[in-house]
Amino acid sequence: MADKLIIVESPAKANTIKKFLGGNTKVVASMGHIRDLPKSKLGIDVEHDFEPEYINIRGKGDLIKSLKRDAKSAKKVYLATDPDREGEAIAWHLAHILDVDKEKITRVTFNEITKKTVQKSMQEARDIDINLVDAQQARRVLDRIVGYKISPVLWKKVKRGLSAGRVQSVAVKLIVDREEEIENFVPVEYWNIYVNLLDKKSKKEFEAHLYGKDGKKIELHSKEEVDEIIKQIEKAKYIVTDIKKGEKKRTPAPPFTTSTMQQEASRKLNFTLKRTMSVAQGLYEGVKLPEGHTGLITYMRTDSTRISEEARAMAKEQIVSTYGEKYYENRYYRTSKDAQDAHEAIRPAHVELAPEQIKDYLTPEQFKLYKLIYNRFLASQMAPAVYDTMQVDITANGYDFKASGQSLKFQGFMVLYVEGTDFKEVEEQAMLPELEINQEVIKQKINPKQSFTEPPPRYTEASLVKALEEKGIGRPSTYSPTITTILDRYYIQKEQKQLVPTDLGKIVNKLLIENFSDVVNEEFTANIETRFDKIAEGNEKWKNVIREFYGPFMQEVEKVEKELEHVELQDEVSDVVCEKCGRLMVYKYGRFGKFLACPGFPECKNAKPIVETIDVPCPVCGGTVIVKKSKRGKKFYVCENNPDKCNFISWNKPKKGEKWDPEEDKKKTQRKTTRRKTSKKKKAKTTKKSASK
């Protein structure tokens, strides 16, 4: 008989905790949820105040028996599931099914799995927080109602297997809206005028740009305007009228929250959200080091940037010993007003375990993410980078020009880490020569530049997470499953790193906007999240939220079902003739995306994939070249006659009139790969070099 039984969610977490607890203690894993709503029906008794009808998850019968047996033989049962609402709910379900005296059961949470934290947390065991459980139940029940009541409408009108969701449908709408902005965007022409100027004393050239005339800013939208100004400044004297020297500081980013970690891992490591959370879970639960299983980071589902005083002291010690006193600065970060702040920011649990030191014990993915978290945390407690700046105003025949430059004076936190961005960063500006007011600088060349305004960029996983967070839609734990779901449903697809709506996504989005406006309403979805937070704080009853939502929502569902009863959504007709019956085939959507099907189903069951081709004939046999995609989404090119009559297949798009040599093609691919890798290394080297100047 064990004195203590500790139930966690995963075996990895169990292995890490075991080594910290002496005595007669047993640690076992529940393997995640053990009870849930049934998949085959709504599972909510709407006639009896929305009581959830939980059932044991199929396949977990033996595990439940084992947990019950262990619980009965233990003197005390500690439910140590994850320290969030989901974990609290799992603990509550465990307490329900263990079938032991409730006085015997207690709740314990670990924000980080270190010896000190585990032992301290065991001393601070508490009751299950029913407010957190209710907040999770409210989300689960409301999302189940939305999904199970709207999805059948989509099945009838679009196709089976589709789904709608309170957060996922808003995410799809954001992506569709952005695509419409891009499609409707009308570029506007604009011009800039740059002038290369020479300082006679230093013989240094620098660049200035036209700002305005007589102190007023001007905008240029045609070549005629530009040509007129060039005539007036071509032979003018360029006189320095003002010089401003200063210092600019760049402060480090805060330590990671869940969403900022997901965004940065997407930008810098090319990780999907799902991959990031999976790797982070492993780092939190523990990896095998020489001293045993060790948790390397704090809990990875958080929206707080707060760090403990103990962690702050560890950061100071590490920074001062590695870089020196001048690189350290004690920093506090303001947490968002909507943040739950139950946990610290994501940080290393053992600052003394530098990434390079334990690299051999981590998978490549674990090492990359741990290094990112480690460096971001340390950098957040470092001194700002300092730049010397210089701004110069220059006048030529009444026209005002501006020039600016900056140089890195002190690298500060940038010696370790610089935050990524979704957009192209402006390169460091060269410092200007030492100039004087009223000095003449000599015009070398005038460079007019035509540009056009650009549409907003498509969302990436990183920028979509940022948008959802800013709008208060969803919470840290929901971003990854939301984006995974809409990709799996084929509502969106990835092109490079960009998220693009499919035709199916557009159809579903249109149907929801026209018939279930609340479900795709950003404000409504954000308000519901706020009410979930109030439930977690004990300031609202979860069933009140469901009651208020259910009545109006069901009226809308019934109204839509009646209105759409005799409405049949028309399939898009292609120009492809069905070779079996002569009808024009239509576009349908299946598990793997869009395909062609005969509209004569079920009499004619002909269906075939949509084949993408290029307008260049096969360089071997002259046949049609088909575009295919690898499992990773990379395009390659293959002859329609391959492999029976032709051997053409290549990663490289063929060119007209070009002969194909398999060996030369292979070398070309290798050269491309090498150039890409070299370019990445060069870019990383340049970034490092600029930070160390």
Joined together, the tokens standing for residue 14 give 């169990």
Q: Are 492 and 175 in contact (CB under 8 A)?
A: yes
Q: How many CB atoms lie within 10 A of CB 353?
A: 15
DSSP characters for 553-590? HHHHHHHHHHHTTT--PPPPEEEEEPTTT-PEEEEEEE
DSSP characters for 632-677? TS-EEEEETTTTTT---EESSPP-TT----HHHHHHHHHHHHHHHH
Choosing from 54, 78, 284, 299, which is the catalytic residue?
299
> What is residue 600's DSSP assignment?
T
Q: How many CB atoms lie within 10 A of CB 508?
A: 29
Nearest-CA neighbor of 154 among 166, 167, 163, 145? 163
Question: Terminus-to-terminus CA distance in the chain, angstroms?
Answer: 64
Q: Are 379 and 420 in contact (CB under 8 A)?
A: no
Kindly list the strands in the beta sheet with 607-609, ordered across the sheet, starting from the edge strand earlier in the chain.
573-577, 584-590, 593-597, 607-609
Q: What is the amino acid identity at position 511? A: L
Residue 474 phi, psi (nearest 5): 75, 180
83 preceded by cis ω (within 30°)? Answer: no
SS (H, E, C) 227-287: HHHHHHHCCCCEEEEEEEEEEEEECCCCCECHHHHHHHHHHHHCCCHHHHHHHHHHHHHCE
DSSP-based three-state secondary structure for 34: coil
> What is residue 2's DSSP assignment?
-
* Catalytic status, residue 299: yes
Joined together, the tokens standing for residue 207 give 């660049």
User: Which residues form the catalytic set?
Assistant: 299
